[in-house]
Amino acid sequence: MDKSVDLQQGTIHYRDEGKGEPIVFVHGLLVDGRLWKDVTPALAADFRCIVPDWPLGSHRTALAAGADRSPRGIANLIADFIERLDLDRVTIVANDTGGAISQILASERPERLAGLVLTNCDILENFLPPIFRPLQWMAHVPGAYWLIARTMKSARLRRSNLGFGMLSHATIPDELTAQWGAPLMQAAIRADVVTTLKAIDKRDTIAAAEALSARPVPLLLAWAPDDRAFPLGAQLEEIPRSRAFVPIDQPKRLAELVDGFVRRDRSADGVSQAAGT
């Protein structure tokens, strides 16, 4: 069911299905909650799946004037969203830039979190990964994101490695990627994401890792080895036949891993490693 909630920072649209312990999904830059559309059906029978469209460039409603659009600001927005919905014992499932933001969230406002599931994402010094750093550099060039918005109208470009092509083995429908790119035509949406990109700083993810080392949150790493953008940063089992967009390439396997993680004994802290099949 599509819903929305008004926070001090602005309006957040989200989808809410199922009942049970809450799982909140966090996507990355230039996509929306539909990244998880093939994952949540396998979980909604037993869990409450809450899938927001975070303000990361493909959102429908621009943030309010004065809202903190930095990654830390978005992390606080997520925490405020969770608090407004009065959620407790929340499992966060994150991908791409959303993984970095979720690490900041878990390190600074963990009081309502039960665990964190990270699929391929920014971590430590790789915020942004080298292959995506031009996105940040272009944020400092006036008019660059207007041009990007125009070029993203091309389905051929969206399918290429300059678009979404390198992020999944599976072909993402042109209709969906067009809808992900369309909000960038709005000046206020562009201003939101450009401000976020300018504020990205690896010191935030390094600090988050240090804080989580001292005060760990139960963690599942569900990583795809074929990813060209986010190479493995730890020794762990892998999710094969997937690139960065694990929710698109291997939704069933990811749902199985999240299901098992949420059901685990909540008293058992530590890192759970994703076993591939």
- The confidence score (pLDDT) of residue 276 equals 43
* Interatomic CA distance for residues 27 and 109, integer angstroms: 19
Query: With 60 as the cut, is the pLDDT of residue 277 above it?
Result: no
- The confidence score (pLDDT) of residue 136 equals 97
What average pLDDT does this structure show over 43-64? 98
* Interatomic CA distance for residues 249 and 226, integer angstroms: 11
- The confidence score (pLDDT) of residue 98 equals 98
Which residue type does 133 have? R
The tens digit of pLDDT for each residue in 101-153 reads 999 999 999 999 999 999 999 999 999 999 999 999 999 999 999 999 999 99
- The confidence score (pLDDT) of residue 264 equals 76
Percent of the chain with pLDDT over 70: 91
Pair of tokens at residue 137: 């550099």
Pair of tokens at residue 273: 């490693």
* Interatomic CA distance for residues 246 and 204, integer angstroms: 24
**Residue closest to 31 by CA, chosen among 63, 58, 11:** 58
Query: With 80 as the cut, is the pLDDT of residue 267 above it?
Result: no
Band of pLDDT at residue 235, cut at 50, 70 and 90: very low
- For residues 70 and 217, which has the higher predicted lDDT (pLDDT)? 70
* Mean per-residue pLDDT over the chain, rounded: 92
Query: With 50 as the cut, is the pLDDT of residue 269 above it?
Result: no
- The confidence score (pLDDT) of residue 216 equals 87
**According to the 3-state scheme, what is the secondary structure of 217-229?**
CCEEECCCCCCCC
* Interatomic CA distance for residues 145 and 6, integer angstroms: 27
Give the number of residues written for the chain: 277
